[in-house]
Amino acid sequence: MKPTSGALYLLFLAMGFCLFTNGSLYAQKKDPFREFIRPTEPLSPEDALKAFTLPDGFEIQLVAAEPTIQKPLNMAFDIKGRLWITDSSEYPYPVKPGTKGKDTIKILEDTTGDGRADKITTFAEGLNIPIGLYPYKNGVIAFSIPDISFYEDTDGDDKADKVTKLFGPMGFERDTHGMNNSFRRGFDGWLYANHGFNNQTSVSGSDGHKIEMHSGNTYRMRLDGSRIEHFTHGQVNPFGSTFDEKGNLFTADCHSKPIYQILRGGYYPSFGKPDDGLGFVKPMMDHLHGSTAIAGVEVISGEQFPDEYQGNFFSGNVMTCRINRNSPVYHGSTIVAKEEPDFLSTTDPWFRPVDVRLGPDGALYVADFYNKIIGHYEVPLDHPGRDRHSGRIWRIVRKDKDHKHTDYSKLKIPQLIELLGSANLTTRMLVTDYLSDQKGEAAIAPLQHAVVEAKQPSIVVHALWILFRMGALSDDLISQAVSSPSELVRIHAAKILAEQASWNEQNRLQMVRALEDENAFVQRAAAEALGLHPQLANIQPLFALRQKVPAEDHHLEYVVRRALMLQIRDSQVFKQLDWSTLSSSQRRELAQLSLAVPTEQAALYLIQYLKSDQVDQGELPGYFRHIVRYLPAEKVPELILLARTKLASNIDLQVEIIKAVLQGYRQKGLSIDDSLSDWAVVLTGELFKAIDKQPLQWVNYSLNENTNVNPWAVQQRASADGDKASPFFCSLPAGERSTGRLVSQTFTIPAQLEFFIAGHVGFPKQPNNGLNYVQLKRSTDQSVIKQVTAPRNDLAQKISWDLKDVAGEQGYLEIVDSDTGRAYAWMAVGRFQPAVVEVPRIGLQQQAQRISAAAELARDFRIGAAREPLAVLLSAERLDPRARNHLALALMMLDGTDAFLPLFPLPTSREAVSGQFQSAVIDAVIKQDTDQVDALLKQAFKTYPSRLQTQLAETLSRQPQGAEQLVAYAEQGIVSPQLLTEPGIQNQLQQATDPKFKKRLQKLISALPPREKKTQENIATHLKSHPSFKISLENGKTVFEKNCAVCHQLAGKGAVVGPQLDGIGNRGLERLLEDVLDPNRSVDINFRTTTILTDEGRLFSGLKRREEGAVLVFVDNKGKEFTISKDEIDEQKQSPLSLMPANLLEILSPQQLHDLLAYLLQSTKKTTAGH
């Protein structure tokens, strides 16, 4: 049979809250640097110059400004020392295909030496938002929508008269603010570039080799258009890149981290994209300089900058209007960026540094996209305040240094080779390119001589690369280089061998020896080279280095592991490898690396590994998931037998494995075979047996509808009387921030009750916060009879309650952990005497997971025999609320009815809905009494709080029959017509095609005040009232973690589903309120939900993340992924809505809202340049 998608089940369980706000920036009272739309007027270039602040000894000069240039995007220098720029007045709207644009590429020259460009030549015009550019020979290679082309000047007048398409079309349709930028020539002669946010590109060179890029990536290309290659995967919107003298490549990612070190083949975090199995490359910094809107990065070199700046990273911050500075700290080959005082600041909030480049004259050049508005998504693109014409180029120089321009094209070859020793890397790279591209054979002999005789390592390095590019580098010169006393030369010698297509045995041995070099960068380059030239003999040397990598050198570890992975990705090496010669630790390492090898060979190896080795049980699900995806179908029964045999005594891990196997089936589009079905039936029976042994005396209720954790584990704890073996309920294993309310069965209250309690109520020196406690309550009126808080002790203390006055009454116990603190926030309770209640053998968390697992298996495998035990469990009085929802949905699946689906999931907090109503719903489900559905829905709308009514209405609106019911209820006065205007609901209802239905809907909502007006009134109310609230940032943080972190990351905490929120405080209170209370006002296309219509007529909604074989992966508003098989989908349609519900005011109390706002507003940072 065909596996079910699971989407229906997950969709109805997944109700929650997700803050979707775009970008990150500076905010609070009326600081102009914290406003998306800067409130100030533009300054003239002369006045703007006076507004800058720099460290002592530096000055800034104006190179060019409007009207002689438009808005600059990228900069580059040529061998004559001239500055080339791409500039635009079309941005952000591209001209239509076939229409000539107004954008240009210009050459800027300072012929008088005063720093000002007195000669500006338009080299190419009629362009369409050009960004990346690289001056090359008699022209320039540049991107202009939609192609990367070579613009040539064939007659020497500095005007392009010939255009040759090299690569394209490149994606631009979804976004125009990143596209293809930062063209940087590498030491190896390739041209490196960034692929920006959101666009999708499928492109090849003339050799036919195709790459596909989705959103942020880096790539490299041959300058003749012959080949294009993927270099790294991921990042959100890389805009800016640079090399250092070791050949390390760095990018500025405009949304995640200001600077990344780029490792070949590496995967970097992006929205919803997985890594390749090796994990993501570790970042080189965690601080964000108060904003994630970073554009441009440069590594400083050259005698014009003092020693303290050498090797520093300068990057443009377009929101804080600063040039940030970081110094490098070396942990082996891993460079960590240390935050330094900002290099430049200004009092002019229109300053927007989108590119920073070190010139061959030693000055730092800054492209200023001078504008009132910079945000691409934060402000509508058609906002009239967007400036389309102002732009400046600035030049920062050291006052006491010479910064004269030199036309290096006039120099002789010996003079050019001497310049390869310049302290300025820009100069060295320009001369390297010029010698290799334009001097030809005349340069070969002098360069060979320089390799042998030059004293300066940089001359040797660049001469080696030029000879390599020209095909004139001999084995003898390479041999000399790999054994050079200079670390810099040895690093580049290894990098050259990495690029060399074919090796001899001598080359391989040279790199094997280099793995033992005392310099970590040499080791890393050698490991990369060996990875690109896989051979069986490389494996043991790489393992030897792997064992010696220091823990703090994350980048060396990554490159060595990737090199090992590339060995076994080669089918011949994999075939030759004798696994019996490997140690157990080596076999484990290769097993982990096999997760990045998408081949049948890797799957077969993993099966053998699981049979022969002791495997960490936590790794098993990943291994089985990978195996089943790439294993031939005829081998899957062998895999299932292995899993059942190896894990016979561990039903919980069997559940994880069978889910992994089922996911693999879905990815391959396979039908479920008998061996898998048989396993599911047996495993479901084992789960029922395990559950039946546990008396259901306790139930946990969530203190927050948006949390899925049942925190109550069972563990042995020590008590003050010396007992160490008794079981306790304990909330610590789930994490100190986890919360829950544990409620016992009803019992007859004894005359005395004793128990032991451990745990804490806040930090030791702080007052008792009273958040963790045990209380006895009457069953009749829920009044509290006795209460005790946690004793601030890890050792359980005895509590004895005298209950003579209430003995014989009916009561129950509540164990409450409501403390979300980071420490001293847990509790443990047990050893009840008399035993009116007991601590079960296994924790409630594990028990709930087993119940849910049994329900899922019965549902996914259609196990009809499971219906009766499922119904028995569902009728239990004390059942975990989330497990109850799983059971009910499974029962509905087995019964083939969906009539009850709109009522699920039932709320998980005890206060949300009455127990009687929930019992009525469950009873109807068990009896299949579908006649009760209408009455139950009406009762739900009459008794549910507003936020639950909204969820219920959203569920109904997703199917035609439910939409009809919803409108009828509104007509009958059961539902407020205002509910129909909720964006998610209204969007679904408007999908209807029946004219009569549309007329009825319009009649209901036409008399209502516009939703936009109501929302704006709410925004205004909370904007005005915010100062009157007594704010708690700690409570704001808690609200964020409970409600927002499922989708957003802030300060490194939370999921990366939606945009990261570091620096969100820069937006200011008013804009933040707009984003929170009206999330659908401006939704980036990359974060709009997709509506899916299945072939069964079902509607689902979620954020599309990726494809995995035969299934599509979506994420719900809980931050959880769910899958739908492609062959189940009848239609997909992108909605204009965000995943975030628009009813935040119903989810949070006013105090919670304002605590959250305050917490988000304080996520900002400001420093003073030069101090």
User: Does residue 31 belong to any structural domain of this protein?
Assistant: no
Give me the count of residues in the chain. 1171
Q: How crowded is residue 692: how many other Cβ atoms within 10 Å of its Cβ?
A: 12
**CA atoms of 944 and 263, how far apart (whole Å):** 54
pLDDT for 291 beyond 90? no
- Helical H runs in 441-553? 444-453, 457-469, 475-482, 487-499, 505-514, 520-531, 539-548
Core vs surface per residue 1131-1161: b (16+ CB within 10 A) or e: eeeebebbbbbbbbbebbeeebbbbbbbbbb
Give kind and range of the element (H or E) at residue 260.
Answer: strand 260-262
Q: What is the pLDDT of residue 913?
A: 64
Query: Where on the phi/psi map is residue 364: left (φ > 0), alpha (ψ -120 to 50), or beta?
Result: beta
pLDDT for 1097 beyond 60? no
pLDDT for 13 beyond 60? no
pLDDT tens for each residue of 532-549: 999 999 999 999 999 999
Q: What is the pLDDT of residue 910?
A: 63
Among residues 338, 28, 22, which one has the least CA distance to residue 1163?
28
- What percent of the chain is predicted at pLDDT more than 70? 93
**CA atoms of 436 and 465, how far apart (whole Å):** 9
Statement to judge: residues 99 and 225 lie in one domain: yes
How far CA 654 is from CA of 1, 680, 855, 963, 1075, in Å, comes to: 21, 10, 15, 41, 44
Confidence of residue 671 (pLDDT cuts 50, 70, 90): confident
Among residues 1165, 1166, 1156, which one has the least CA distance to residue 21?
1156
Q: What is the pLDDT of residue 2?
A: 40
Lowest-confidence region among 185-199, 522-536, 704-718, 1062-1076: 1062-1076
Statement to judge: residues 1006 and 1025 lie in one domain: no
Mean pLDDT computed over 970-995: 86
Statement to judge: residues 143 and 260 lie in one domain: yes
User: Does residue 71 belong to any structural domain of this protein?
Assistant: yes
pLDDT for 551 beyond 50? yes
Q: What is the pLDDT of residue 1040?
A: 83
pLDDT for 1166 beyond 50? no
Q: What is the pLDDT of residue 665?
A: 83
Q: What is the pLDDT of residue 26?
A: 33
Omega within 30 of 0 (cis) for the link into 341:
no
- What percent of the chain is predicted at pLDDT more than 90? 60
Confidence of residue 22 (pLDDT cuts 50, 70, 90): very low
Q: What is the pLDDT of residue 1012?
A: 67
Mean pLDDT computed over 335-344: 97
In total, how many domains does the chain have?
4
Structure tokens at 406: 């030199």
The residue from 398, 426, 457 where one domain ends is 398
**CA atoms of 555 and 791, how far apart (whole Å):** 46
Statement to judge: residues 967 and 1027 lie in one domain: no
**Phi and psi dihedrals of 767, rounded to 5?**
-60, 150
Q: What is the pLDDT of residue 1099?
A: 61
Structure-token match 């938002």, residue found: 129
Among residues 456, 441, 437, 447, which one has the least CA distance to residue 417?
447
At how many degrees (to 10) do helices 915-927 and 933-943 cross?
160
Burial of 927 (0-12, 13-18, 19+ CB in 10 A): exposed
SS3 874: helix
The residue from 969, 984, 1013 where one domain ends is 1013
pLDDT tens for each residue of 462-475: 999 999 999 999 99
Structure-token match 């009272």, residue found: 29
CATH number of 725's domain: 2.60.120.260
Q: How crowded is residue 108: how many other Cβ atoms within 10 Å of its Cβ?
A: 22
The residue from 1013, 1046, 1072 where one domain ends is 1013
**CA atoms of 536 and 513, how far apart (whole Å):** 16
Q: For the chain, how many helices (H) and strands (E)? A: 33, 43
Q: What is the pLDDT of residue 967?
A: 93
Q: What is the pLDDT of residue 1095?
A: 64
Confidence of residue 1091 (pLDDT cuts 50, 70, 90): confident
SS3 738: coil
Residues contacting residue 111 through CB under 8 Å, at least 6 positions apart: 118, 119
**Phi and psi dihedrals of 170, rounded to 5?**
-95, 140
Q: Provide Rg for the chain, Cα atoms.
A: 33
pLDDT for 25 beyond 50? no
Structure tokens at 833: 């005497």
Please, are residues 520 and 556 in contact by the beta-carbon 8 Å criterion?
Answer: yes
**CA atoms of 330 and 755, how far apart (whole Å):** 55
Statement to judge: residues 109 and 241 lie in one domain: yes
Statement to judge: residues 758 and 814 lie in one domain: yes
Q: What is the pLDDT of residue 916?
A: 81
**Phi and psi dihedrals of 1159, rounded to 5?**
-65, -45
Confidence of residue 735 (pLDDT cuts 50, 70, 90): confident
Structure-token match 């017509």, residue found: 977
User: Does residue 561 belong to any structural domain of this protein?
Assistant: no
Most confident of 234-238, 309-313, 962-966: 309-313
Mean pLDDT computed over 674-688: 94
Confidence of residue 425 (pLDDT cuts 50, 70, 90): very high
**CA atoms of 500 and 467, how far apart (whole Å):** 12
Please, are residues 763 and 773 in contact by the beta-carbon 8 Å criterion?
Answer: no
Kindly state the DSSP code that residue 435 receives in the 8-state scheme: I
Statement to judge: residues 143 and 253 lie in one domain: yes
User: Does residue 758 belong to any structural domain of this protein?
Assistant: yes
Mean pLDDT computed over 917-935: 91
How far CA 697 is from CA of 87, 810, 879, 886, 1039, in Å, comes to: 71, 15, 9, 20, 31
More confident residue, 529 or 980: 529
Helix-, strand-, coil-residue percentages of the chain, each rounded to 5: 35, 25, 40
**CA atoms of 102 and 194, how far apart (whole Å):** 24
Please, are residues 775 and 787 in contact by the beta-carbon 8 Å criterion?
Answer: yes
Lowest-confidence region among 282-286, 607-611, 1085-1089: 1085-1089
* Amino acid identity, position 848: A
SS3 336: strand
Structure tokens at 105: 């590429």
Confidence of residue 12 (pLDDT cuts 50, 70, 90): very low
Statement to judge: residues 827 and 923 lie in one domain: no
User: Does residue 643 belong to any structural domain of this protein?
Assistant: no
Pair type for strands 83-88 and 103-109? antiparallel
**CA atoms of 955 and 904, how far apart (whole Å):** 9
The DSSP code sequence of 861-902 is TT-GGGHHHHHHHHT-SS--HHHHHHHHHHHHHHHT--TTGG
Mean pLDDT computed over 97-108: 93
Most confident of 377-386, 560-569, 712-721: 560-569
Most confident of 83-92, 974-983, 1154-1163: 83-92
Please, are residues 959 and 945 in contact by the beta-carbon 8 Å criterion?
Answer: no
For residue 930, give its domain range. 867-1013
How far CA 306 is from CA of 57, 312, 564, 599, in Å, comes to: 10, 11, 42, 53
**CA atoms of 679 and 359, how far apart (whole Å):** 68
Most confident of 176-185, 444-453, 898-907, 1099-1108: 444-453
Residues contacting residue 51 through CB under 8 Å, at least 6 positions apart: 43, 346, 347, 348, 351
**CA atoms of 357 and 362, how far apart (whole Å):** 10
User: Does residue 96 belong to any structural domain of this protein?
Assistant: yes
Structure-token match 């014409």, residue found: 389
Statement to judge: residues 135 and 223 lie in one domain: yes
**CA atoms of 1020 and 1023, how far apart (whole Å):** 5
pLDDT tens for each residue of 213-226: 999 999 999 999 99
Structure-token match 């990045």, residue found: 596
CATH number of 368's domain: 2.120.10.30
SS3 1005: helix
Mean pLDDT computed over 501-513: 97
SS3 217: strand
Statement to judge: residues 983 and 1042 lie in one domain: no
* Alpha carbons within 13 A on the beta-carbon side of 754: 7
Burial of 722 (0-12, 13-18, 19+ CB in 10 A): exposed
Statement to judge: residues 59 and 19 lie in one domain: no
Structure tokens at 985: 């609901």
Q: Where are the beta strands (DSSP E) in 359-441?
A: 364-368, 392-398
Give kind and range of the element (H or E) at residue 295.
Answer: strand 294-299
pLDDT for 1170 beyond 50? no
Reported pTM: 0.76
* Amino acid identity, position 262: I
More confident residue, 196 or 695: 196
Q: What is the mean pLDDT of the chain?
A: 89
Among residues 855, 844, 869, which one has the least CA distance to residue 689?
869
pLDDT for 1066 beyond 70? no
Mean pLDDT computed over 125-136: 98
**CA atoms of 548 and 527, how far apart (whole Å):** 13
Kindly state the DSSP code that residue 946 receives in the 8-state scheme: H
Lowest-confidence region among 167-171, 715-719, 1105-1109: 1105-1109
User: Does residue 203 belong to any structural domain of this protein?
Assistant: no
**CA atoms of 1170 and 344, how far apart (whole Å):** 7
Structure-token match 């921030």, residue found: 737
Statement to judge: residues 777 and 794 lie in one domain: yes
User: Does residue 612 belong to any structural domain of this protein?
Assistant: no
CATH number of 1032's domain: 2.30.30.100
Mean pLDDT computed over 1056-1071: 72
pLDDT for 9 beyond 80? no
**CA atoms of 630 and 597, how far apart (whole Å):** 10
Lowest-confidence region among 478-482, 493-497, 711-715, 1133-1137: 1133-1137
pLDDT for 15 beyond 60? no
